[in-house]
């Protein structure tokens, strides 16, 4: 499928990505999320089912697989 960004000549490709969600000053990082990613500009599309699944996972507050440090860039 052609990229949604008007001037971009790229095509979306199925990839597994890292996806970060922030809510109320909390961050949730998801690994191996299936997404459509533009081969040129990197525009990313998530399927609505994937978005719903991520919402559910952040609400359930299941124990994470790993922890990651968060840095302030200044």
- Contact residues: Zn ion, CB under 5 A: 3, 5, 8, 10, 38, 40-41, 43
Give the HSE-up count for residue 71: Cα atoms under 13 Å, Cβ half-sphere.
2
Q: Would you say 3 or 33 has its CB closer to Zn ion?
A: 3
Q: Would you say 5 or 16 has its CB closer to Zn ion?
A: 5
Question: How far is the C-alpha of 12 from the C-alpha of 2, rounded, in Å?
Answer: 6
Q: Would you say 7 or 70 has its CB closer to Zn ion?
A: 7
- ∠12-45-50 over CA atoms, to 5°? 125
Residue 4: CB minimum distance to Zn ion, A: 7
Residue 28: CB minimum distance to Zn ion, A: 26
Closest CA to 40 of 9, 1, 7: 9
Residue 8: CB minimum distance to Zn ion, A: 3
């Amino acid at each position: 499928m052609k990229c949604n960004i008007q001037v971009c000549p790229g095509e979306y490709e199925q990839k597994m990505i890292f996806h970060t969600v922030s809510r109320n000053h909390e961050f949730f990082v998801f690994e191996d999320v299936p997404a459509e990613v533009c081969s040129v500009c990197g525009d990313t599309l998530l399927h609505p089912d994937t978005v719903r699944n991520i919402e559910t996972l952040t609400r359930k507050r299941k124990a994470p697989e790993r922890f990651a440090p968060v840095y302030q860039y200044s």
